[in-house]
Amino acid sequence: MSFKGIYAALSGSLAQALKIDTIANNIANVNTTAFKKDQQTFGEYLTSMEKNSEPITSLPRNPASMNNINPTAAMDKSFVDSTGTHTNFEQGSLKHTAGKLDVAFDGEGFFEVATATGTKLTRSGNFTIDSNGRLVTKDGNTVVVSTDGQDLTGADAETKRNSYAQFSGNSQPYISDSGEIYDGERLVGKLSLVKVNNLESLHKVGSSYYDFKPNMTAEVSTLNNPSLKQGYLETSNVNIVAEMTDMIMAQRVFEGTQKAIQAYDQMQDKAINQVGSTKA
């Protein structure tokens, strides 16, 4: 008797545990500005794919039995394989804040932010002004701003780090629906807004930031006609009811795989301690 089926059950258990972790993270970020939910995807992994056997041209002419009815397939196993975590970039709803430096995308687009590890992208537009009078994100990173009308899309990280909006502190700052930044009546720059043509090339790097996967080509262009809403923030696109439903289903499947593992363990115990010790 083969007990290798326990590994198939174990792979299913690990897959559901990963799915539960992903759903839990979505639920935890339901109130995070512009958060995009993640979805775990799985596929079937066949051990036969590892083999380089010659194509079968004839069937063996042996007496039929459970052991040799199809000997080429009897050794093949099927497991659950994680194919990756994918981010759902669907638009979140807009929440009115009346903040002069709050701005939200009503459609495609990303803001560029200069961080210590390079330029990152974000859709979180809850900006503020630091002690130096510069426009920054909530965690203090510089919001990339074009101050002379220059297109910064293809600029290097150092150039973007030095492209920021400077406020005098004597006037009311605000950002317009077109992305222009004002210090009172004085125009100090325009937000660097970009469009990513291949969203699957992005991955999360924390703090609502995105970066490009190292094995994929970045297809970025300037967003010339952005749809922005000043005084609004984009909420997360997490549907709490749907996530809770998925969590319950995943937990039930996880419990089922755990019972299957326990059943295999009990059968193996009987095979070793009872059947194996039976005297002739």
For 252, the domain range is 5-51+69-86+240-274
For residue 264, pLDDT over 80 is answered with no
**Half-sphere exposure in the Cβ direction for 192 (13 Å, CA):** 31
Q: How many other C-beta atoms are found inside a 10 Å radius of the C-beta of residue 68? A: 11
For residue 70, pLDDT over 50 is answered with no
Say how far residue 235 (Cα) sits from the centre of its chain: 17
Note whether 130 and 170 are same-domain residues. yes
pLDDT tens-digit map of 31-67: 999 999 999 887 666 555 555 555 545 545 554 444 4
Note whether 229 and 101 are same-domain residues. yes
Q: Which residue has better confidence, 15 or 270?
A: 15
User: What's the structural domain count of the chain?
Assistant: 2
Exposed e or buried b for every residue in 105-124, given b needs 16+ CB within 10 A?
A: beebbbbbbbbeeebbbbbb
Answer whether 62's CB lies under 8 Å from 68's CB. Answer: yes
pLDDT tens-digit map of 149-202: 788 888 888 999 999 999 999 999 999 999 999 999 999 999 999 999 999 999
Whether 203 is covered by a domain: the verdict is yes
Note whether 244 and 132 are same-domain residues. no
Give the H or E element holding residue 83: strand 78-87
Q: What integer pLDDT is reported at residue 73 of this predicted model?
A: 46
Note whether 24 and 106 are same-domain residues. no
Token digits of residue 129? 């002004």
Note whether 226 and 248 are same-domain residues. no
| Pick from 46-60, 125-139, 193-207, 255-269: least confident | 46-60
For residue 16, pLDDT over 70 is answered with yes
Note whether 78 and 175 are same-domain residues. no
Whether 15 is covered by a domain: the verdict is yes
